[in-house]
Amino acid sequence: MTAAGPPFRFACRRSGRCCRVGRGRVWFEPEELPAMAAAAGMTAEAFAGRHVVRVEGRWSLRERPDGRCSLLEGLNDCTIYRARPEQCRTFPFWPSILAGGEGLRRAAAVCPGLEILDPAGPKGSEGPEGPEAR
C-alpha cells in the first residue's frame, strides 16, 4: 500500500459473494453476539446454538455445507445486516487485503466490486491466509 491509499478501488455491488464464495471464516468478538441475536429476533443462547461455532477458542459464524454464511438468505440478503460483525462491515479494508499481494488477489477473485489498481504488481505481504471471510 502506498501513502496514496489502498491498492484497490471498491464499490459494493451487493453481489453477496463475500458471504457465500471462497474459503475462510467470519470471526467475531463475543461482545458482538447480543446485537446479532437481537437483529435475528433470537435470544443470545438460541442464536449461539444455531449460528455460532467455536474454532480453536475463537468465535465464528456457522457455515452451511455449501460454504454460505448461515445468516445469508438468497444471494445477497444478510438477515442481521444492521448488526453484522465488524469483519463483515470492514471488508475489504482488512490489513491482509490492504497489504496487497495474495490477500488482495484472493479478495478480488471473490468480490466483483473490488478492482486492483495495479494488477501487474501489488507487492505487499502474502499473508498467511488471505481473506478470512467469504
Cell triple for 61: 459464524
Which residues make up the interface to ligand SF4 (CB under 6 A)? 19, 26, 61, 69, 71-72, 78, 80, 84, 88, 133-134
Q: How far is residue 123's CA from residue 125's CA, in Å, rounded to a whole number?
A: 7
Closest to ligand SF4 by CB, 1 vs 38, is 38
Closest to ligand SF4 by CB, 2 vs 31, is 31
Rounded to a whole number of angstroms, the minimum distance from the CB of residue 122 to ligand SF4 is 24
Closest to ligand SF4 by CB, 94 vs 101, is 94
Rounded to a whole number of angstroms, the minimum distance from the CB of residue 71 to ligand SF4 is 4
Q: What ranges make up the beta strands (E) of 1-117?
A: 8-10, 27-28, 52-55, 58-61, 72-73, 77-78, 114-116
Closest to ligand SF4 by CB, 19 vs 110, is 19
> CA separation (Å) from 12 to 18, 31, 54, 55, 133?
10, 27, 29, 29, 15
For residue 132, which of 56, 59, 25 has the smallest C-alpha distance?
Answer: 25
Rounded to a whole number of angstroms, the minimum distance from the CB of residue 115 to ligand SF4 is 21
Rounded to a whole number of angstroms, the minimum distance from the CB of residue 70 to ligand SF4 is 7
98 membership: H or E segment, kind and range? helix 95-98
